Amino acid sequence: MRLKILAVGDPVLRTTARALTPEDLLSSSVQDLIEHMRETVRDAPGVGLAAPQIGEPLQLLVIEDRVEYHKGLSDAELIERGRREIPFHVVVNPVLERLPGEDALFFEGCLSLPGFTALVPRASAVRVHCLDRKGHAQVIEATGWYARILQHEIDHLRGTLYIDRMQPSSFSTTDNYTRHWKNKIIG
* Rounded-to-10 torsion of CA 21, 140, 156, 88: -90
Which of helix, strand or coil describes residue 101?
Answer: coil
Q: String of b and e for 88-126 (b: at least 16 CB within 10 Å)? A: eebbbbbebeeeeeeebebbbbbbbbeebbbbbebbbbb
Please, which residues have CB within 8 angstroms of residue 79's CB and are 6 or more apart in sequence? none
Rounded to 5°, the CA angle 58-59-65 comes to: 115
User: In Å, how far from its chain's centre is CA 151?
Assistant: 7
pTM: 0.94
The predicted pLDDT at position 185 comes to 67
Q: Which residues are catalytic?
A: 153
Question: pLDDT digit string (tens) for 114-160?
Answer: 999 999 999 999 999 999 999 999 999 999 999 999 999 999 999 99
pLDDT-based confidence at 174, cuts 50/70/90?
Answer: very high
Question: pLDDT digit string (tens) for 37-95?
Answer: 999 999 999 999 999 999 999 999 999 999 988 988 888 888 888 899 999 999 999 99
Domains and CATH numbers, the chain: 11-180 (3.90.45.10)
**63 exposure class (CB count in 10 Å sphere: 0-12, 13-18, 19+):** buried
The predicted pLDDT at position 80 comes to 83
